[in-house]
Structure 1
Amino acid sequence: MKRFSFSLQLLLGLVAGVALGFVARIWDVAWLAETLTQVGAIFVQLLKLAVPPLVFTAVLVSVANLRNVSGAARLASKTLLWFLLTALVSVAFAIGLGLIINPGQGVTLDTGAAKAPESSGSWLDFVTGVVPTNVVTAFTEVNVLQIVFLGVVLGAAALAVGEKAEPFLSLSRSVLELVQKALWWVIRLAPLGTAGLIGKAVSTYGWDLLAPLAKFSVGVYVGCFIVLLAVYPTLLAVWGKVNPIQFFRNAWPAIELAFVSRSSVGTLPLTQRVTIERNGVDGGYASFAVPFGATTKMDGCASVYPALAAIFVAQVFGVPLGVGDYLLIAFVSVVGSAATAGLTGAIVMLTLTLSTLGLPLEGVGLLLAIDPILDMIRTATNVTGQMVVPVLVARSEGRLDEAVFNAPPQPLDTAAGRAPRAPEPATA
C-alpha cells in the first residue's frame, strides 16, 4: 500500500465500500453487511477513544503556548472573529438557499410517529453544561464542551503561574504527543474504516430512505458545497491572497478523512499536520487555532444544517417563520457552534435551534435516519473551515510560509515521519 498515496488509499476505500455496500444490499448478503458495520464501528470507536485526552491536552497546551507567540492576544482575537464571520456568512447562504428550495414544502411524512429526542438542547442546558459538576464524569461521558472548558481554565492558570507550571505542561505535552502518535496509527487504518462506514451506509439505506427527504438532503449538500466551493475560495483569494486550488490540494487528505469519519476531533491530528506541513501555517499559532477550531468551528453542523433543518421542520409542521426567526437562526448558529463539540452528529445543535424557535422537537426524529449520510458533508465542511481560518490569519500576520504553501503537496506517509504536535516552548 505504500506505493499509493494516503489520499488514493482513502479513495480506493471509498469506492470499495460503495461497491461492497451495494452487493450486500442488492443480493441481501447479511454477513457482508454485518462485517462492513463492524469494521466501520470499530474504526469510529478507536477515534472516539482518543477524544478526551486529545482534546484536553491539545487545548491546554495550545492556550499555554500562547505565551511563546508574539501578538498572541491579537492572533486569538482575529481567529475568533474569523470563526464568527465565516459562520455568519455560511448560515446566511443556508437561509437564502432554504427560502429558494423550500425543503419541507409538499413533503408528506408521518409526523405523529416522530419522537422528540430524550434529551434536548436549550440555552440553559448549553450554559450550565459548560461547567462540569464532576471532573471525572466530563471525561467518562466524553462531554467535549466540558473538557474544552477544563483545558482552557488550566491552560490559562498555567499562563498565570509561569515557570512553576512547566513540569505540568511538560507532562501534558508528552501525553499529547503520545495520544496523537497513537491516533495517527488509527488514521492510517482510515482506508479500511472508509470501506466499512460507506459500505454500511449504502447497505443499510441505499437510496430508498432519501426519496421522501430528497429535496432536504440535496439542499444540505448544495449548501455545504456553496460554502466549500464559493465562500471559502473567495475568502482565500480576496482576503488571504493565496491560491484556493492550491489550498484544496494541500488540505484534501484531511477533508477526505473528515467526510468518511464524520468526526472533526478524530481528524484533528491530520488537520493540524496538513495545516502546518502543507499549508505552511506557523506551528506555534496552528497549535492554538486548529484544536480550538476542531471543537468550536462548525460551519457545516452549526450553520448550514440547522438553518435548513429548521426551515424544513417549520414547513412540515406548518409553522410560519418570520424575519425575526431567521435572524434568531443566524444568532444561534454563530453563538452555539461549540454545542456540536466536534463529535459525529449535530443533534444537540439542531435541538438547540428548534427549541429556541419554538419548533416541534419531533422534527429531529424525522431527520435522524438520514443523519449519517448528511453528516459526512457537514463534517468535511467543518474541517475545511478549521483550516481556512488559520491560513487567513497567518497570511495577514506574516506567519504563513508561502514556499511551503505553494510547493507540491508532500506525501503525508513520509512527511516528518510523525504525528503533529504542539511546538516546544521558545521565546518569540
Structure 2
Amino acid sequence: MSLTNRILLAMVLGIAVGSLLNLLLSANALGVSFGALIQTYLIDGVFDVLGRIFVASLKLLVVPLVLVSLICGASALGDSARMGPIAGKTIAFYLFTTGLAVTIALLVASIVAPGEGMNLQTSAEFVPKPAPPLTDVIVNIFPTNPVKAMAEANMLQIIVFALLFGYAMSHAGEPGRRLAGFFRDAEAVVMRMVSLLMEVAPYGVFALLSKLFAGMGASAILDLAGYFFTLAAILVFHGLVVYPMLLRVLAGLSPAVLLQKMRPVWAFAFSTSSSGATIPVTLRTVEHRLGVHNSVAGFTVPLGATINMDGTAIMQGVATIFIAQVYGIDLSMAALFGVVVTAILASIGTAGVPGVGLITLALVLEQAGLPVEGIALIIGVDRLLDMIRTVINVTGDAVASVVVANSEGQLDQEIYHASADTLDAREA
C-alpha cells in the first residue's frame, strides 16, 4: 500500500475508533471500571502521547526547513531580480482569495440563514485576547534578533531574515557560492528527515484523530447543525470549486492532478489543525510532487501558512451572519462590507497570534456592532471545523505556489503531470 493510502486509511480508522470509543463510554457499555481504564491508559495515555509526539516532531522540522529552503531560494533568485514580483504575486493572490472567501460566506449564509428561529443563550462571556495593532505587526515583521525569531518560531521574521541572507549570499562572490552549497546540502538532509517522519505518519494521524473523536460527542454538532453544515459546505465549495477554477484560469493546469496529490497533506492538516505544523509536508509535496521550484515554494508555502486564512475568513463570514440572526440584529450593507475589509486586514494583522481564528472573529464582530460574547455559541464545534479550515488553507498555499511558479517559469510540468505512483517509484 502506498504511503498516501496508508495515511488516509489511518485517518479513517482514527475517526472510526475514536467515535466508537466515545459512543461506548457515553453509554457506559464497557462498565465503570473498564471504561475508566480505557479513558486513562488508552485515550489519555497511548493516543495522547503518540499524538503529541507526532505534532512535536512536525514542529521540530518547521524552522530549519523554512530557513534553509528560503535561503536556497533567495540565493537562486538573487541575481535575477524576481524576488519582488514573486512576493507581490503571492501576497496579492492570498489577499484576493481571502476577500473572495468571506464574500461567498456572507452571501451563502444570508441565503441559508442558519441562525433564524434560534433562541440560544450564551453559556459564558467570551473574552478574546486583544490583537496587536496593525502598525506593530508591520514593525515586528523585521527581526532584531534572528536567533530569537527562530527560537520562538516567528515565521514572518524568519522569512525576512532568510530572504535577506539568501540575497546577500548571492552577491557575496566565492564565499556566497560555498555557503550556497552548504545550505543545499542542509536542505537535502532536512527533506530526508521529513521523508522519515512521513513513514511513521499513519500512526501519528491515527492517534491524534482517535483521541479527538473519543472526546467529541455528536451532540455538539447536532445542537448547531445549521451553522456547522453551512460552514462545512462553503469550506468544501471553496476548496473543491473556487481553488480549482483559479488554477485552471490563471495557470491553465488540471486541478484534478493537484487535488489528488494533496491528499496526504490534507490528512496532516486535518489531524493537526495547524498550517504551521503542516509546513514540512506541504513544502515537500509542492516541490517534489507538484514541480514547483524551491525558489518559489520556499517563499509561498511558509508565507501562506502565516497569512493565508481563507478557511478562517469563511468562518468569520458565516459566524457573523449566524450570531446576528441569533440575536435578531439586521446588518446593513456598510456593515457587511466592513466585515469583508476587516477579515482581509485581520488575516495579516493577527498573523502568528495563538487562537487566531477566534481573535479575528472578535475583531469582525466588534466592527459589525455585534456582541462578542456570541462567540461562546460556536466554540463547541469550532475544533472540528478548525480541522476542515486548515485543509482549505493548505490547499490555497499549494494552488498559490503552482500559479506563481507557472507565471514565473519555475514550474516543472513533467513532475506536475506525473502520476503519484510514478513519483513514489522515483523516490523509492
TM range (shorter): 0.7 to 0.9
Decide whether the 8 Å contact of 1:184 with 1:269 is kept in 2.
Answer: no
Q: CA deviation at 1:61?
A: 4.5
Deviates more, 1:225-234 or 1:21-30: 21-30
The structure 2 residue matched to 1:202, chosen from 197, 213, 217, is 213
Structure 1 counterpart of 2:392: 381
Decide whether the 8 Å contact of 2:235 with 2:314 is kept in 1.
Answer: yes
1:39 alignment partner, SS class: helix
When residues 205 and 157 of structure 1 are mapped into structure 2, their CA distance, relative to the original with a 3 A threshold, is same
When residues 310 and 48 of structure 1 are mapped into structure 2, their CA distance, relative to the original with a 3 A threshold, is farther
Structure 2 counterpart of 1:22: 19
* Matching residue's letter, 1:297: N
* Matching residue's letter, 1:327: F
What is the CA–CA distance in structure 1 between the aligned matches of 2:163 and 2:359, rounded to whole Å? 22
What is the CA–CA distance in structure 2 between the aligned matches of 1:387 and 1:33, rounded to whole Å? 34
Query: Does the alignment pair 1:33 with 2:30?
Result: no
Query: Does the alignment pair 1:231 with 2:242?
Result: yes
Q: Give the structure with the higher percent helix.
A: 2
The structure 1 residue matched to 2:345, chosen from 335, 353, 357, is 335
Deviates more, 1:126-135 or 1:304-313: 126-135
The structure 1 residue matched to 2:333, chosen from 323, 331, 341, is 323
Structure 2 counterpart of 1:307: 317
1:205 alignment partner, SS class: coil
Deviates more, 1:286-295 or 1:143-152: 143-152
Decide whether the 8 Å contact of 1:263 with 1:344 is kept in 2.
Answer: no
| TM-score for both structures, normalised by structure 2 | 0.83
Decide whether the 8 Å contact of 1:36 with 1:196 is kept in 2.
Answer: yes
Structure 2 counterpart of 1:43: 54
Q: How many residues align?
A: 413
Offset from partner CA, 1:265-310 (integer Å, 9 cap, x none): 2222322232233223334333332332232222212x21222222
Deviates more, 1:9-18 or 1:153-162: 153-162
What is the CA–CA distance in structure 2 between the aligned matches of 1:358 and 1:85, rounded to whole Å? 25
Q: CA deviation at 1:160?
A: 7.2
1:182 alignment partner, SS class: helix
Decide whether the 8 Å contact of 1:121 with 1:348 is kept in 2.
Answer: no
Q: CA deviation at 1:350?
A: 2.6
Query: Does the alignment pair 1:11 with 2:21?
Result: no
Larger Rg over CA atoms = 2
Offset from partner CA, 1:122-179 (integer Å, 9 cap, x none): 5466456545676665444444444445445555665676766666666665555544
What is the CA–CA distance in structure 1 between the aligned matches of 2:75 and 2:379, rounded to whole Å? 39
When residues 175 and 282 of structure 1 are mapped into structure 2, their CA distance, relative to the original with a 3 A threshold, is closer
* Matching residue's letter, 1:322: S
Query: Does the alignment pair 1:250 with 2:261?
Result: yes
1:336 alignment partner, SS class: helix
Decide whether the 8 Å contact of 1:345 with 1:372 is kept in 2.
Answer: no
| TM-score for both structures, normalised by structure 1 | 0.83
Unpaired runs of 5+ residues, structure 1, are: 418-428
What is the CA–CA distance in structure 2 between the aligned matches of 1:342 and 1:166, rounded to whole Å? 37
Q: CA deviation at 1:385?
A: 0.9
When residues 126 and 410 of structure 1 are mapped into structure 2, their CA distance, relative to the original with a 3 A threshold, is same
Matches within 5 A, 1:29-428: 29-30=38-39, 31-34=41-44, 35-69=46-80, 71-120=82-131, 123=134, 126-127=137-138, 130=141, 138-152=149-163, 154=165, 176-301=187-312, 303-338=313-348, 339-341=350-352, 346-410=357-421, 415-416=426-427
When residues 92 and 178 of structure 1 are mapped into structure 2, their CA distance, relative to the original with a 3 A threshold, is same
2:420 alignment partner, SS class: coil
What is the CA–CA distance in structure 1 between the aligned matches of 2:415 and 2:148, rounded to whole Å? 42
Aligned Cα RMSD in Å?
A: 3.2
Q: CA deviation at 1:415?
A: 4.2
Decide whether the 8 Å contact of 1:345 with 1:371 is kept in 2.
Answer: no
* Matching residue's letter, 1:295: T
When residues 47 and 357 of structure 1 are mapped into structure 2, their CA distance, relative to the original with a 3 A threshold, is farther
What is the CA–CA distance in structure 1 between the aligned matches of 2:94 and 2:408, rounded to whole Å? 16
Q: CA deviation at 1:116?
A: 1.3
* Matching residue's letter, 1:88: G
Structure 2 counterpart of 1:421: none
Decide whether the 8 Å contact of 2:14 with 2:205 is kept in 1.
Answer: yes
What is the CA–CA distance in structure 1 between the aligned matches of 2:16 and 2:272, rounded to whole Å? 18
Q: CA deviation at 1:102?
A: 2.4
Deviates more, 1:75-84 or 1:154-163: 154-163
Q: CA deviation at 1:231?
A: 0.8
What is the CA–CA distance in structure 2 between the aligned matches of 1:159 and 1:328, rounded to whole Å? 44
Decide whether the 8 Å contact of 2:50 with 2:207 is kept in 1.
Answer: yes
